[in-house]
Chain A
Amino acid sequence: DAKTTQPNSMESNEEEPVHLPCNHSTISGTDYIHWYRQLPSQGPEYVIHGLTSNVNNRMASLAIAEDRKSSTLILHRATLRDAAVYYCILRDVGRSQGNLIFGKGTKLSVKP
């Protein structure tokens, strides 16, 4: 499986934008880029996903590099509730098990 690399931790101030980077230099053409996050004492939750084009939803935006070897999750205005571990995951649509392969993720701290 293609691997992702994320910083171990990042800090942000409340109400400021946050850019969470992810490198995936060995991505294949059929890999979708997914982001999940895990709030303290909760199960992971879906944030956003994309293939080639940038994507926006109510939670975040996903910016994908033209060569697809990196991507950035953008939280436009961080809140205290956004403090979580963020996972960047490559998902091959042809994968038979359907499982998500979680790495170590980036622990985001948000300061008031």
Chain B
Amino acid sequence: EAQVTQNPRYLITVTGKKLTVTCSQNMNHEYMSWYRQDPGLGLRQIYYSMNVEVTDKGDVPEGYKVSRKEKRNFPLILESPSPNQTSLYFCASSLDLRETQYFGPGTRLLVL
């Protein structure tokens, strides 16, 4: 089944403790992206990647890092999480930047 998977689905952590949220797609998509969703603010793009080893900042990149060493994986790294990064995170992928995007199920993060 074609899908985007994210792990973990739920995470509670403390300020400053590094964490990684994984994202994987099995559709051989070139374009991958991370969004965060906050009440009243909608979904906002954090980082995106056009292909392996090609990543760029989205609209709200501060406090996040990403890597794209393989086509299927696009992990989101929070080196030193802070409470304002408490949010619902979605990974998405598409054939290229113009095509339909497929979203993962989301990761709900709480930073204490």
Contacts and interface: CB of A to CB of B under 8 A. Distances in A.
Interface of A: 41-46, 49, 91, 93, 95-105
Interface of B is mostly: strand
Given A43-B90, A97-B45, A97-B59, 5 more contacts: A44-B101, A45-B103, A98-B48, A99-B45, A99-B48
Nearest to B97: A98
A91 B101 CA distance: 12
Interface of A is mostly: loop
A99 B100 CA distance: 11
A103 B42 contact: yes
B85 interface: no
Interface string B22-53: 00000000010101000000110100101000
A28 to B, nearest CB: 15
Nearest to B33: A99
B48 A93 contact: no
Contacts of B33: 98-99
Contact of A46 (B48, B56, B90, B101): B101
A49 B101 CA distance: 12
